[in-house]
Amino acid sequence: MEEAEKELERRSKFLSNLIQKKKATDQQNLHQHLNIKVKASDMSTVLQNKAFKCAKDHLDSISPGNGIKIDSKRLALALKKEFDASYGPAWHCIVGTSFGSYVTHSLGGFLYFSINKVYVLLFKTTVEPMDR
């Protein structure tokens, strides 16, 4: 009986490893398809993918091919509103081609990436009520 349990454990680890590799490959393919480079993150892949899709959709709607210059403020506002609505308040977004930052963020709420040579910093902070 003990050997059967060991074999089940071995197979479980093997399958788990395969699933993780598949997820990593899928994520990498998504990055290549959307022309995304993650610079730093402690955000879950689900939230990352939401940010990528929102940024891509917004950029596609105002693409330079339409003769419209990318408006960093509008992209930042679109990402902030989407994340505030979906995941609660206190999301912040900085978008541009050249900026520096040093921020404090909530655990699991930080993403810095580039998409089509535009850099996006998206992060969440904790909202605490003021004592009166």
Q: Is the pTM of this model over 0.85?
A: no
What confidence tens digit (pLDDT) does each residue in 73-131 have?
999 999 999 999 999 999 999 999 999 888 989 999 999 999 988 999 999 998 777 77
52: left (phi over 0), alpha (psi -120 to 50) or beta: alpha
Residues 113 and 110: their CA atoms lie apart, in Å, by: 10
